[in-house]
Amino acid sequence: MTERETHWEAVYTSKGDSEVSWFEASPDLSLSLLREAGLTADASVIDIGGGMSRLVDALAAQQDHVAVLDISAAALAKARRRLPEAANVEWIVSDITAWQPSRQYDFWHDRAALHFLTEEADQQAYLNALNSAVRPGGKVVIGTFAPDGPEKCSGLPVVRHDARSLEKFLGTGFKLIAERRHDHETPWQAVQRFQFSTFEKIGG
């Protein structure tokens, strides 16, 4: 098990879903951003670093196909127990930097996974996975800490972004179509400043 896997398994085996800073009782913003990007019931969606997020619950109730990828088997096991009859959900235990997609998706959603990748090689591996997993014309919604957001999360350093830096990171194969600032309130009432950016894949 890698150091990254060990860290996240420890987090998700020792804490309940509402005991982590990124907890949301309802994923209203993510759902809104996906709908604004054109989400329809027949579209396939993958949630990167989904962990124990409630987003999969909402998507499973309305989408034909949903996938959740997370490095932590414990996190996905807990999420899966909430949805024992969700045959339309694909559960993927993998480090995003080592994942080899077996299909393409219409929508890619990432709320606070990319910003944990501080090494250039890991960032490039993430980008390779994204390029392989998103079909041409597909939409990508990425949420990270904003430039004035926290410098660490879960004891780990993060890379903060705005829409421009994400646009540069993704490259010319993606077009920025929307951006939004968001102040997330943690379960203990601290505020974390986020930046959400939505892109369309225009390359092949």
What parts of the chain have a pLDDT lower than 70?
A: 203-204
- Asked whether 108 and 137 are in contact (CB, 8 A), the reply is no
Q: What is the pLDDT of residue 39?
A: 98
Q: How far apart are CA 108 and CA 117, in angstroms?
A: 17
**Residue 204: its pLDDT value, please?**
59
Please report the pLDDT score of residue 18 as a whole number.
Answer: 86
pTM of the model: 0.96
Domain boundaries, the chain: 3-201
Comparing C-alpha atoms, which of 141, 140, 151 is closest to residue 116?
151
3-state SS, 147-198, equals CCCCCEECCEECCCCCHHHHHHHHCCCEEEEEEEEEEEECCCCCEEEEEEEE
Q: Residue 59: what residue type?
A: L
Q: Which of 162, 182, 75, 170 is nearest to 130 (CA)?
A: 170
Of 151, 139, 96, which Cα lies nearest the Cα of 121? 96
**First-to-last C-alpha distance (Å) of the chain:** 35
Kind and range of the H or E run holding 68: strand 65-70
**CA angle in degrees (0–180, nearest 5) for 40-41-44:** 85
Residue 6 vs residues 2, 25, 95, 158, 160: alpha-carbon distances, Å:
6, 26, 11, 18, 23
- Among the four given CATH numbers 3.30.420.40, 3.30.1450.10, 3.40.50.150, 3.20.20.80, the one describing domain 3-201: 3.40.50.150
